[in-house]
Structure formats: structure tokens, C-alpha cells
């Protein structure tokens, strides 16, 4: 398999975690977002929408959207599972993942920050406030959702799931912008449990070949 | 089952479509977003994160996040299926759904538009331009993704899927803000096929009990 991705992209990081959790080897193919490589003609052949990550399967199929890719990996390589065995558990884990992937992260990705600055003439400080607002307020909702679930090592239960694949990159992102994580007890406990796990360590941006530090 | 939702919420509309496609009866419980009812203490008992929709199952379980709810409905009431039978097909449909739910819709929901006006002091016209920008540019990516898939009546294949549940509310939303849909051939053909289907008709905002016209 080949993963077309960027070290700092949260969505890429999610898929790298899943690949490491599954113990699947893959070729790392960097796409430099800041240099605009995702908008090149070459990359258009890989991803119609020009987004990272894109997973290229051994059969040459090209898959997009990180959560869809992770579910595909989970279905085609079931061990260890990244979703619970029961429908209710799966709904809980998917909802946690989507709370991050649909409510928090979309507001903070590169093209949105660029639009704020270029089109809305938002100053640097207001842009950073925007960033921190959506991460902090989104994680507060995440914490409330976790608080209603049974005690767990990770986001849901005692093994990493799709929810943890989404949580960890979001925390990394927040750290870069000095988001306040205080009081997010369950959330940060799950994050710390993940960071003690070798798969999450291995997948992190600082271990990527295209890492710029 | 009970659906806590709002007639104009895209995420609510997605779940209503799925319920109608499955032929499942449900109680419609309105939550008035503009009046802030989702932030009430009463609603906090239903949804920890205070978001709509929330599905209350007959067992009293409360589920959040529209795509997670739809997958739960699909797993617990498999006919008619809203995802293909094969892993690759499921990955394609989920990716289409997520392209809308993670790349387009989050930038245009009510709390984001409010933040633009209240915190960033963005004028009405610039707010509308923002709205149209993300819907139009996102749907252009969607169209490119569809263009690589085999010819189909709906987004994927000849029966409605999770992708159509997400597409139709996004088009409705775009229509309210006069988004230009020209040239989005496959996308609009799928939308029109959906609108000929009674489930999509029945689920639309104008047929909701809390519709304000």
C-alpha cells in the first residue's frame, strides 16, 4: 500500500495511526501542502478532490477521506479491530470520531485559515483566536460526550479505536496553537494513554520522512 | 424511535432521509436552533454536546452525529441497504458522504456564521460570499470525485446511499444562499434523482412539523 500524505496534516496522521495499529507496512509518499503540491496535475491523478491523505491499495484503487479509509482498513484487515463488535458501540465510536472530524478540524485546516487572512483580512491574532475557539469549544463537547460513557483507558474501552485515531492529531494540532486543555480530564487521559502506545508514537509528525521540525 | 431535530438543520435532514428510506416510523421532536433550545438544560439531558440531531432508540439509548446514526440504522435495519455490500464500495460511499459532512457543511452551519458576524465583524455580503465559496468549491470537488465513478442514477449505483443522504440537504442549503450549481452535472443529476424518490420528498424541511416556511 501507498499513503499519499503530509506529515502535519491531521487527516493524514489519523490514517498513519490506523496503519500502525494494524501493523501494515506502507510506502510514505509526501505531498507538500504548504508548497501546494496537492493542487498539481500529478496529484490530480491520485486524488480527484486534491485532498490528503489518499490511500493507494495494492490493487491500485485510490481511496480518499481519512475516516472512510480507516473503516476500509478495518474491514479488510480486521485485527486488531478499530471499532467495537456491537452496533451501539460502533455508533458511539463513530460519533466521537465525527465530533472531531466534522465539528472541530474542518474549521482549522489550512485552506480555511488562508481564506480568513486573504479574503476576510483577519489579523494574525484574530485568526489564532478563531483557531483556539473551535478547538477548545469542540473539545469541551467531546469531554461532555466522554463523561457519559463508561470509564475507559482510551476514548472508548480499553483498546484504541477510530475515535483515538481522530483525537490524537487534533490534540497535536491544538498544541501547536497553544490551546488550553485544562479541565478536559477524560479527553487528555485518553490522549496520554494513546501516546504511551507505540503505534501512536510511530505515526506522529516528528517521525515522518517529510517532517520539517 | 424519537428524533430530536430541527427542520432546517442539514444533519437532521440526513437522518430523516435515512429513516424514510428504511420505512421506519419515528416521533419528531423539534429543537429550535435559532431560539437556542439546543443549549437548554432540558436538551442537555438528551445530547451531551447539545447538537442536533439526536436519535433516541426504543431502548432509550441516545445517539449523536448524523452519519454515525445512519450507519447504526443501516446495521440494525439492513433493508434497504444504505451502503454497498463490498468494502471498496463502502469506502467510496463513505468518502462521498464525508466530503460533504467534513469539508463543506461544517463551514456553513449556524454557529460558524454567527462567529463570523459577532466576533470577526464580517458584513452580511462577505458572510454570504464565504457561504457560497465553501459550498461551490466543495461541490466542485464532489463532482470531480463522482466523475471518476461508474455511471449511476444516484451518487453511487442505482439505489440511494449514505452519500445521497448527505448530498440532498447540502443542495437545499446551497439553494437558500443562491449558490451557483452550474456545471455540476453528475452531482445535480443525483440530486434530481433523489428528489423524484418519495423518501427524500417526505423528509424535506417543508414537510416537517416545525417548518416555518
Q: What cell numbers appear for B14 in the block?
A: 440526513
Instruction: Categorize the per-residue pLDDT at A34 as very low, low, confident or very high, splitting at 50, 70 and 90.
Output: confident
Q: What is the 3-state secondary structure (H, E, C) of A150-186?
A: CCCCCCCCCCCCHHHHHHHHHHHHHHHCCCCCCCCHH
pLDDT of residue B190: 98
Sheet of strand A62-64, all strands in order from the earlier edge strand to the far edge: A27-30, A2-5, A54-56, A62-64
| B41-49 contact pairs (CB < 8 A, 24+) | B43/B4, B46/B4, B47/B4, B48/A141, B48/A144, B48/A145, B48/A147, B48/A148, B49/A99, B49/A141, B49/A142, B49/A144, B49/A145
The pLDDT score that the predictor gives to residue B180 is 98
Instruction: Categorize the per-residue pLDDT at B165 as very low, low, confident or very high, splitting at 50, 70 and 90.
Output: very high
The pLDDT, as a whole number, for residue B212 is: 84
Cα-based distances in Å from B112 to A133, B120, B131: 11, 11, 10
Instruction: Let me know whether B69 and B115 are in one domain.
Output: no
pLDDT given for residue A212 in this prediction: 84
Q: Is residue A213 part of a domain?
A: no
Residues 51-70 of B with CB under 8 A from A: 51, 61, 63-65, 67-69
Q: Are B51 and B108 members of one domain?
A: no
Check whether B213 has a pLDDT greater than 80.
no
Q: Is residue B143 part of a domain?
A: yes
pLDDT at A86 over 90: yes
User: Using CB atoms, which residue from A61, A92, A141 is nearest to B49?
Assistant: A141
Q: Is the pLDDT of residue B109 over 80?
A: yes
Pairwise CA distance, residues A2 & B88, whole Å = 16
Share of chain A above pLDDT 90, in %: 96
Tens of pLDDT, residues A182-197 = 999 999 999 999 999 9
pLDDT band at B205 (very low <50, low <70, confident <90, very high): very high
pLDDT tens for B44-90 read 999 999 999 999 999 999 999 999 999 999 999 999 999 999 999 99
Residues of B in contact with A116 (CB under 8 A): 120
Region A43-58: mean pLDDT is 95
Count of domains observed in chain A: 2
Name the residue range of residue B63's domain.
Answer: 2-80+201-207
Of A50, A91, A130, the CB nearest to B71: A91
> Is residue B137 domain-shared with residue B187, that is, in the same domain?
yes
Question: Does the CB of B110 have a partner CB in chain A at under 8 Å?
Answer: no
Question: Is the pLDDT reported for residue A77 higher than 80?
Answer: yes
Same domain membership, residue B107 and residue B159: yes
Q: What is the pLDDT of residue A127?
A: 96
- Comparing CB atoms, the residue among B68, B87, B115 nearest residue A95 is B68
Q: Which of residues 182-201 of A touch B (CB under 8 A)?
A: none
Q: Report yes or no: B13 and B109 within 8 Å, Cβ to Cβ.
A: no
Q: CB A49 to CB B142 under 8 A?
A: yes
* Long-range CB contacts for residues A37-45, cutoff 8 Å, separation at least 24: A38/A6, A43/A4
Residues A23 and A43 in one domain: yes
Mean pLDDT (whole number) for A62-82: 98
Who's near A211: CB < 8 A, 6+ residues apart? A7, A205
Q: What pLDDT, on a 0 to 100 scale, did the predictor assign at position A45?
A: 93
B 115-144 residues with CB < 8 A to A: 115-116, 119-120, 122, 126, 129-130, 133, 141-142, 144
Q: Determine whether the interchain pair A48/B102 forms a contact, defined as Cβ–Cβ distance below 8 Å.
A: no
The answer to whether residues A159 and A73 belong to one domain is no
The grid coordinates listed for B200 are 427524500
Q: Output the CA angle B104-B151-B71, nearest 5 degrees.
A: 50
Residue B137 in any domain: the answer is yes
All three cell numbers of A18: 490506523
Average pLDDT taken over every residue of chain B: 96
Question: Taking 90 as the threshold, does the pLDDT of residue B146 lie above it?
Answer: yes
User: pLDDT averaged over chain A?
Assistant: 96
Using a CB-CB distance cutoff of 8 angstroms, which residues of chain A are in contact with residue B63?
91-92, 95
Same domain, B39 and B121: no
Which tens digit of pLDDT belongs to each residue from A111-120?
999 999 999 9
Task: Please tell me whether residues B165 and B189 are part of one structural domain.
Answer: yes
CA B204 centroid distance within chain: 11
Amino acid at each position: 500500500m501507498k499513503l499519499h500524505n503530509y506529515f502535519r496534516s491531521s487527516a493524514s496522521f489519523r490514517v498513519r495511526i490506523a496503519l500502525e495499529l494494524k501493523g501494515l507496512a506502507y510506502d510514505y509518499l509526501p505531498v507538500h501542502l504548504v508548497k501546494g503540491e496537492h493542487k498539481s496535475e500529478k496529484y490530480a491523478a491520485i486524488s480527484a478532490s486534491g485532498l490528503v491523505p489518499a490511500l493507494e491499495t495494492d490493487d491500485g484503487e485510490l481511496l480518499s477521506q481519512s475516516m472512510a479509509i480507516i473503516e476500509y482498513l478495518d474491514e479488510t484487515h480486521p485485527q486488531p479491530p478499530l471499532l467495537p463488535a456491537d452496533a451501539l458501540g460502533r455508533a458511539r465510536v463513530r460519533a466521537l470520531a465525527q465530533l472531531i472530524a466534522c465539528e472541530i478540524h474542518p474549521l482549522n485546516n489550512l485552506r480555511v485559515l488562508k481564506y480568513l487572512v486573504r479574503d476576510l483580512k483577519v489579523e494574525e491574532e484574530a485568526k489564532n483566536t478563531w483557531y483556539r475557539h473551535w478547538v477548545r469549544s469542540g473539545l469541551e463537547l467531546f469531554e461532555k460526550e466522554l463523561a457519559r460513557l463508561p470509564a475507559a483507558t482510551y476514548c472508548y474501552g480499553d483498546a484504541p479505536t477510530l475515535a483515538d485515531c481522530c483525537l490524537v492529531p487534533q490534540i497535536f494540532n491544538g498544541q501547536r496553537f497553544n490551546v488550553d486543555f485544562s479541565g478536559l480530564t477524560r479527553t487528555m487521559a485518553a490522549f496520554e494513554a494513546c501516546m504511551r502506545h507505540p503505534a501512536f508514537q510511530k505515526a506522529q509528525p516528528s517521525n515522518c520522512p517529510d517532517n520539517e521540525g
